[in-house]
């Protein structure tokens, strides 16, 4: 039974790392489940502190992954249109993976902002200014998205490191 738990746990760890890049899959929580499965094997006894720490890191990284791109867009002067465009671009970008996953939110935010500035400010702002503001908001969205990916990847890799370390120490 221990071998089965290790194999299933390892699959969860790998799925967690993949999920850090693919936004549909919740990466850090899956990695944590893999570590939790390892905890239920006979020779491995992770401390309560380790389990609470990794669970907390997984939760924080997952929550921040949804907040940071929106915050980045808003911090860069973006509107709800840019934020929604970024989300739509992310969904469409999934069909053009792996490049679309990163380019989609940027293009979506840019188009959303351009639509916003075009509908709101018909004649008061020059087209070059509209594009500049839209580009700045799109870059904010992209930077926020990349920050979320890096954060999730760091947490999932840390959990994967603990998993491998415990397997080696306990079984070899």
Q: What is the pLDDT of residues 92-151, one digit of tens each?
A: 988 887 788 778 888 998 999 888 887 876 656 677 888 888 899 888 888 888 898 899
Helix (H, G, I), strand (E, B) or coil at 100: helix
Domain spans, the chain: 2-171
pTM recorded for the entire structure: 0.81
- For residues 14 and 70, the model is more confident at 14
Average pLDDT on 61-78 reads: 84
Two tokens, residue 76: 């860069």
**DSSP letter string over 113-160?**
HHHHHHHH-SSSS-HHHHHHHHHHHHHHHHHHHHHHHHHHHHHHHHHH
- Structure letter (DSSP) for residue 124: S
């Amino acid at each position: 039974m221990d071998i089965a738990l290790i194999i299933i746990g390892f699959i969860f760890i790998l799925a967690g790392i993949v999920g850090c890049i693919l936004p549909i899959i919740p990466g850090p929580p899956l990695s944590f489940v893999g570590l939790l499965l390892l905890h239920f094997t006979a020779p491995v006894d992770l401390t309560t502190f380790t389990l609470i720490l990794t669970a907390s890191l997984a939760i924080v990284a997952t929550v921040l992954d949804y907040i940071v791109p929106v915050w980045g867009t808003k911090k860069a002067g973006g509107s709800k249109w840019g934020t929604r465009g970024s989300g739509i671009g992310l969904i469409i970008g999934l069909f053009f993976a792996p490049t679309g996953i990163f380019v989609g939110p940027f293009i979506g935010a840019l188009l959303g902002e351009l639509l916003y500035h075009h509908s709101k400010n018909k004649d008061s702002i020059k087209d070059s200014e509209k594009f500049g503001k839209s580009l700045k908001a799109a870059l904010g969205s992209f930077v926020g998205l990349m920050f979320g990916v890096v954060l999730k990847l760091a947490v999932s890799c840390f959990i994967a490191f603990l998993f491998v370390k415990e397997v080696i120490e306990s079984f070899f």
